[in-house]
Amino acid sequence: MPAPAEVTLLNDTQIEVVRNFDAPRSLVYMAFVTPALVKRWLLGPPGWTMPVCDIDLRVGGQYRYRWENESGRAGFGLHGTFEAIEPEARLLARESFEDTEPAGEAGVETLFTDSGVATRVRYVITAASKEARDAALATGMTDGMEMSFKQLDEVLEAVG
């Protein structure tokens, strides 16, 4: 199993999250942009499902995710717009949470890099302010990301 994600605060508004996956870059990229695959791994802690996963993979296209908790806790959503797409290499988007903090829009750059048989995924999340960055971190966002990444490891093994 790959090592857990590394989280670095780059400056007052940016969070970097880096994680390696034991799968070819083409497969990892497909797992990030194919709704049927995203719904299998981008779930965070146990008990959550993703009943809505819409991805219009084109510059100017939008995406929307909605999570629900099986225990009856309120769900939440996220929507965004793709600003740049370089297949199997880079996604750049602006996104906002629905129904939850942190409020405001964030920029998210996702880079996919070959490292031998593995793939390195690097997120750079740019919040609107230091307060928004800190609010995002306070939600446990990066812990939830690692939980999702472990589920992605399983999906990649199953479909690889």
**pLDDT tens for residues 31-64?**
999 999 999 999 988 899 999 999 999 999 999 9
**How much is the average pLDDT of 81-100?**
94
Write down the domain spans for the chain. Answer: 6-159
Pick the CATH number of 6-159 from 1.20.120.1200, 3.40.50.300, 3.30.530.20, 3.40.50.10110: 3.30.530.20
- Asked whether residue 3 carries a pLDDT value surpassing 80, the answer given is yes
Selection from 73, 67, 64 nearest residue 48 by Cα: 67
Selection from 130, 135, 57 nearest residue 92 by Cα: 57
The number of beta carbons lying within 10 Å of the beta carbon of residue 70 is: 9
DSSP 93-109: EEEEEESSSSPSEEEEE
The phi, psi pair for 38, rounded to 5°, reads -55, -40
Give 122: exposed, middle or buried? Use CB within 10 Å, 0-12, 13-18, 19+. Answer: middle
Q: Is beta strand 118-126 parallel, antiparallel or unpaired with respect to 105-115?
A: antiparallel
Q: pLDDT tens digits for 25-34?
A: 999 999 999 9
Prediction pTM value: 0.94
- Asked whether residue 101 carries a pLDDT value surpassing 90, the answer given is no
What's the chain's length in residues?
160
